[in-house]
Chains A and B, each alone.
Chain A
């Protein structure tokens, strides 16, 4: 009760500084890739031509696309590197990291939560006791792994076709094009609709959840969102370890502006995709 009215109250730190930076870089690179890539995919629409010119012509758009791809690879590999570092420092072994209570891998609890969630949706059960990472958050996480692998590998093929065809027949470039393009469509479509809803547009978080930028959430929110984790920390008496000072309002405002930009771009791209797929499809 006091935490809401008292701005001096401490907040729970959910994301490390590095993860926050990585997510921001991910947003920047992802939207850049989506924008520039879609101009090519939907080149038959007037919007694509306009956008391509706004981005400085196709050649520049292509360079932006490749630069963003490098950033995303950077994000991906930094995360992998961070995992190995944290394995050493915090967990000691891959086993502890991968099969500990805060694992990103799907567990039995996730299955229980999923079924429980469906029951709750249908009004035949209580709201499940979510832990640190919910199953839909894990799904998003692995979607990135899948996406980086599928889109990244085909993207490199298209980037360096001359090297690729030293080993593979040229027709595979056509195949790579389809996979790259359709998987990208899946990724953007999923992120800009399902992910956006699950994390930001959900009425209880509307219009956005800025925890991924600030890393901080109020205890109230924490208790409501991740009850299992909260209870676990309270039980262990470790909650104080994760309590930090909240950011001043200026930081929150900046973060919200950035969030608005990212959200609007994402929605615009979604609207454009729907338009291109339904009204201008060739």
Chain B
């Protein structure tokens, strides 16, 4: 037996203590749903994991009402400092339960445990820690003194990073003082339901976060509910467009984080071995189920053959298989539906005349799998160079000059992310400046940090998540309210008006803090 066929090293499932059935998490309790129950399965072997409730319009209404009550009675009245305490507490609980969450995520989503363990869950904790820190510093977010929360946020998230997308949505919303109704994707509800358990453990006031499960119609009922002030959606461009249309004119604030077809540009002066790693990480991380995946490789023509050659030998060391095995690099495709889409587009690629190469790996009998695949000889007019495949499929195009690379990179309806590989700093900065993409990585790819804003241009959506900018999606800037009363006193003060308001705000905060402090005392130290 060869050493490279590492002996199985499966992460144990025994840490999971799953229920057979999960209800909807509304007003701090698990309650039954009124829609048709569905089963969530493991995409690695199609085995059922648990029965999941489905929320119908009536349940959505209950959840939104609970969120509204919590907003009016509790959450909007808490000081930023106290909201921060809850968020810090959630972050610590996520850290404590890291292994459990990672196993649940890999089981339900199909992603390799090494990714859920080393990337997803640590980032989830990082996101809560980061926004916990902001909760009492919103005056300094650049949105004017005392910016206001929006109210009830409806959040609909995708299946590719179920728990991480939940964190991206919930952490800033709560830090800013909003309450939340969140709907996880139909195929990956499990980690969100475990997260509900963490919320109970953290003693978060009932109704501040409600988690309702279901399919597209649940999501649609949620975002179109009249009691919602804010809609945040991450998912496909088609659904994003529908949401933008249906919420137009309702006064709801929207952020959309949609598809992408990122260019990963490799210049001939790139650090080659690291560039090859970056290409692999760009498109084969999370089976390519990444909206910002580097799915279009733009490689300078004079190094094309060498890069492809190295890439192929690197891909042949990738290990596809059991997501719970600690040595697995490529896990399962999340659903049959997605697998079909990847297959269809790959066939289109072949029909269009591109050359297909797939790594030679054994595909398990059960479950949904797709071997890492590269298409060379792809032209800008091919569908596989334009449409988001959302799978482990890389389209390789070439360019001759930086100007051509920039033109090709920008020639897409999307604009979420891009990558540049070069050892020359001035080239990186010059090219980055001309790329129309929300995130540009230099000599790396698919790196995330809560302090860094993320979001798209064009059909990749609007609004930013993460960093200080991410607060803007959940706050109403007080600059816009000059003359509406909020700042009248400050504005009428002749000089030093900013510091004047600062002191007033500080004085107000102190009093509300002591009030909530008493309340906490009666509830046995809510969050410390």
| Pair from one complex | no
Q: CB within 8 Å of A: which residues of B?
A: none
Q: CB within 8 Å of B: which residues of A?
A: none
